[in-house]
Amino acid sequence: MLPFTQARAHHLLPENDLQCSADFPCPEEITRRVDFWIEVFKGWKKEQAIFHDPDSPERVYSVIQTGEGCSRSARKKVKRERARLKKALESLATKVGNNQNITQKEQHLYQLFPSAKASEIRKAAKSIRCQGGVRDGFLKGLQRFHRYSALVDSVLEHNSLPPDIRYLPFVESSYNPAAYSKAGAAGMWQIMPKTARVLGLELNATIDERLDPEAATRAAAKYLLNARRSLMELARTIDPSIKTTDINPFIITSYNYGVNGMRRAIRKIKPDYMSVLNNYKSAGFQVAVKNFYSSFLAARHVALNSDRYFGQYAHAEKVRTQTLVLKNSTSIDRIKKVFNLTEKDLKPLNLPLTRFVWNGWRLIPDGYRLQLPARADNWKSQILRLGTLPVEKMAPGAQSYVVRKGDTACGIARALDTNCRELIKVNHLGKKAVIRIGQRLTIPGKVIVVQKTTTRSGFEKPISDGSYRVRAGDTACAIAERFGVKCRELIAGNQLGRSAKIYVGQRLTIPGAVTLSKGVAELNNENLYVVKPGDSLCLIAQRFSVNCSVLGKLNSLKGKSTIFPGQKLKIPGYETPNTTETATALAHLDETIQAAKNQSSAPAQSNSTSDSTPGLSQEQRDDLQNLLDTLPELGIMVSNASGQPVYSIVSEIDETVGHYADWLGLRSSREIRKINSLSFGQTLRVGKVLKLPVRNTSDIAKFEKKRMEYHQVLSESFKEHYVLYEIEPYRVKKGDSLWLLSNEFGFPLWLLYRVNHSLGHSTLHAG
């Protein structure tokens, strides 16, 4: 006969006196669940792997040393231990089912199942979860906690939020303001890109306020206030006697699962946390969500008892800084030179500045509150000197750039608003377009489309003396296009030399002094493009680096005209100094450009370790890294309705209607919502075609540039923290969703779309 027992393996999971607060209750049913997370935070180290039941985490089967917890590098050990436990549980289930005696060795597992049902044990054998210890990380979090706790406490008090919320960042980031998750969340409060815009945080090519501890804390408080209001309103329609303390567990859980998710759960079950935890069924309501409130309570307990668990530990020193509000946009190089500081000095103090700024791709925007190390003289002389220097502007003309980790040729070209093909040619990168860390590249001016044939009548004289004074941002070919002349003629006429360098204030002679107004030259037949389904005029123009309005004029397309599949469009000749290519060559991207898009910056030395991926060649690593630099189609489509042009886009991951309003320069999203019949608060579905209120065609280019930069900065941030080194096939199961897969395997949703081109914007289906 089997022995009867209710023991719960206390030798692996001790009990704790939680002493919960009035704001955040500890239901008796989850105390053992909280005990599990307390041990994860204060007991088990990162070298240890804990094997347990995902639905009842307090059911700990074993704890082993793997050296790397449950990470990929330890997967062989993890797989072996999981297989051993599965076999042991299946054997135990058989013995329990047949009422056979169990061995002394099996006692531990048997004691974890008080009900002693064979079916329960057999079910548990199919789902064994591995959890790594985080004692080391929690200790670092405690050290940082003392640096930021006063700030967090102040924001919580100002918003009348419970003070115990100060322990939530332990669960999110271990109080690390520079934290970046594989799913794309960033900062101390782990805010997702899409949520950042809703909470009023700036996230663009230059600034990511999710990494600003103060701004992110205010945003988190805003989220929690909105969650409390929304969940309380719903709960009181079901039970008017509900108190805030009853809803607080839902508010905390919503930080992981979302307010709408919690509303669905409350509506389906009732506003009782334990009832929802035990009875709510949803594809997204899984291990991480179910354990979120318990892990929050555990973090609170460990932080309050840190001296007992960690002894005396050094608190992170509060960093003394001086704030300088920039009056003008400024390069990071100028800041370094004027203040004689290095990137190592400045970067930890200015986490919101993106890789675009540190790479020199963009200027620090005016109004930014630059943090400098505190100094006795308050940097007075340096600040005065900075104010006397001329205003900087990002000129698209020739410049140089030193390759950094994660760069690719085409990624650099896109960030610097130049042409990848030209960058490859100017730097003689060869067919593979391989670049190396530390390599200095020449960045050519923007490639401009000019006419290949002679001009006809219909041009007007732009200026009386036939000359033009160069302004900031000009390039020789851009000026040539503006006045409807050949770029090489302008270069030759002004003896600019092979590099075609010009400088601000220089006066150029314009050959013929003509400007494009209404007539455009005819082109050769080889410069024809056949319109495909889904094309728009501006998308085609973007593809061939052609001005959209020039392309329209060339093909006699007016504002109300539409294009259709099969239609043949003339493409202006593509001509720059030392380059002559036709539309035919451009339509079928040459191997060099494709190779460039398939290449990552190789390490400076072949024995580099940080990015090394065992078993993969450099070429294979480059192909994988390319996925981080490949953006979706982000152009605006133009169609016709009742004789009027209609501008539209297809919504992408991490975008909101508010983003579109920002990129169009609108004060609010009201107009966009109105023309698309979208109510406020309605979730924007990925893949939805949305109309845009474009008032001026110049807004198209601005919108597309800002949209592209937004998506590129997400890629650049990801590259700064992770290396993509493997793609695995996965067969979709019933109940799967992209969000679930992203959370389970750990990657941002946008990357899932990039490695699954055939997915489009369709929903998943089993198989």
pLDDT confidence of residue 586: 34
Higher-confidence residue: 495 or 83?
83
DSSP annotation string for 199-225? TT--BSSSBBGGG-HHHHHHHHHHHHH
The DSSP secondary-structure symbol of 165 reads: G
Convert 646-674 to b/e letters by CB count within 10 Å (16 or more is b): ebebbbbbbbbbbbbbbbbebeebeebbe
Helix (H/G/I), strand (E/B), else coil: 282: coil
pLDDT in tens, 12-31: 788 999 999 999 999 999 99
| Residue 5, pLDDT score | 37
CB 538 within 8 A of CB 636: yes
Confidence (pLDDT) at 499? 61
23 contacts 248 by C-beta, under 8 angstroms: yes
pLDDT for res 64: 96
User: Is the predicted pLDDT of residue 370 greater than 60, yes or no?
Assistant: yes
Domains (ranges, CATH) in the chain? 45-133 (no CATH), 136-310 (1.10.530.10), 321-388 (no CATH), 399-446+587-629 (3.10.350.10), 631-720 (no CATH), 727-767 (3.10.350)
Count of beta carbons in the 10 Å neighbourhood of residue 11: 9
Q: Is the pLDDT of residue 44 over 70?
A: yes
Whether 626 shows a pLDDT value over 70: the answer reads no
DSSP state, 56?
S
Q: Which residue has the higher pLDDT, 316 or 703?
A: 703
DSSP 606: T
Joined together, the tokens standing for residue 255 give: 């930080």
**For residues 143 and 295, what is the distance between their CA atoms, to the nearest angstrom?**
19
Burial call 605-626: b when 16+ CB within 10 Å, e when fewer: eeeeeebeeeeeebeebbbbbb
Helices marked H in 452-601 — which ranges? 476-482, 487-493, 537-543, 548-554, 583-587, 591-597
- pLDDT score at 754: 81
pLDDT tens figures, 260-289: 999 999 999 999 999 999 999 988 898 989
Query: Quick check: 333 and 694 in contact, CB under 8 A?
Result: no
For residue 597, what are the CA distances in angstroms to 124, 158, 408, 424, 543?
Answer: 46, 49, 7, 11, 15
Q: Give the confidence band of 93 by pLDDT, cuts at 50, 70, 90.
A: very high
Chain mean position to CA 27: 37
CA pair distance 742, 732, nearest whole angstrom: 13
| Mean pLDDT of the 526-534 span | 65
Which pLDDT value is given to residue 252? 98
- Distance from C-alpha of 483 to C-alpha of 243, rounded to nearest angstrom: 71
HEC secondary structure over 355-369: HHHHCCCCCECCCCE
Nearest to 748 by CA among 714, 701, 697: 714
* Angle subtended at Cα 117 by Cα 111 and Cα 122, rounded to the nearest 5 degrees: 90
d(CA 303, CA 297): 10
pLDDT (0 to 100) of residue 504: 66
Helix (H) or strand (E) holding 614: none
State the pLDDT at residue 461.
Answer: 33
Give the separation between CA 129 and CA 133, rounded to whole angstroms.
Answer: 13
Q: Are 510 and 483 in contact (CB under 8 A)?
A: yes
Distance CA 633, CA 419 (A): 17
Query: pLDDT band for position 258 (50/70/90)?
Result: very high
Is the model more confident about 548 or about 254? 254
**For 322, phi and psi rounded to 5 degrees?**
-125, 135
Cα-to-chain-centroid distance, residue 522 = 45
- Give the Cα-Cα-Cα angle 508, 510, 512 (nearest 5 degrees): 160
Report the C-alpha gap between 215 and 195 in whole angstroms: 14
Contact indicator for 52, 36 with CB cutoff of 8 Å: yes
Residue 448's closest CA among 411, 409, 422?
A: 422
pLDDT at 530 > cutoff 60: yes
The token pair at 227 is 């969650």
414-467, pLDDT tens digit by residue? 777 777 777 887 787 876 777 888 888 887 754 333 333 333 333 333 343 567
Hey, how many other C-beta atoms are within 10 angstroms of the C-beta on 340? 8
pLDDT tens, residue by residue, 188-230: 999 999 999 999 999 999 999 999 999 999 999 999 999 999 9
DSSP symbol at 332: H
User: How far is Cα 8 from Cα 481, in angstroms, rounded to an integer?
Assistant: 79
How many CB atoms sit inside 10 A of residue 515's CB? 16
Segment 500-518 shows an average pLDDT of: 59
Confidence of residue 164 (pLDDT cuts 50, 70, 90): very high
**Which has the higher per-residue pLDDT, 374 or 393?**
374
- Tell whether the model's pLDDT for residue 296 goes beyond 90: yes
Per-residue pLDDT tens digits for 392-417: 886 544 467 888 887 888 778 877 77
pLDDT in tens, 577-625: 233 333 333 333 334 444 444 444 444 333 333 344 555 666 666 667 6
pTM: 0.75
Q: How far apart are CA 13 and CA 32, in angstroms?
A: 9
Is the pLDDT at 234 greater than 70? The verdict is: yes
Q: For 307-321, what is each residue's pLDDT tens digit?
A: 999 998 878 888 899
What pLDDT is stored for residue 558 in this prediction? Answer: 66
Convert the pLDDT of each residue in 543-569 to its tens digit: 665 667 777 777 877 654 567 767 778
Provide, for the chain, the percentages of residues in helix, strand and coil under a 3-state DSSP scheme, each rounded to the nearest 5.
45, 10, 45
**756, two tokens:** 């699954």
The predicted pLDDT at position 227 comes to 97
Contact assessment for residue 658 and residue 197, using Cβ atoms and an 8 Å cutoff? yes
CA neighbours closer than 13 Å in the CB half-sphere of residue 746? 10
Give the least confident one: 230-239, 371-380, 534-543, 689-698.
Answer: 534-543
Helix H segments across 98-134? Answer: 107-111, 118-125
Average pLDDT, the chain: 82
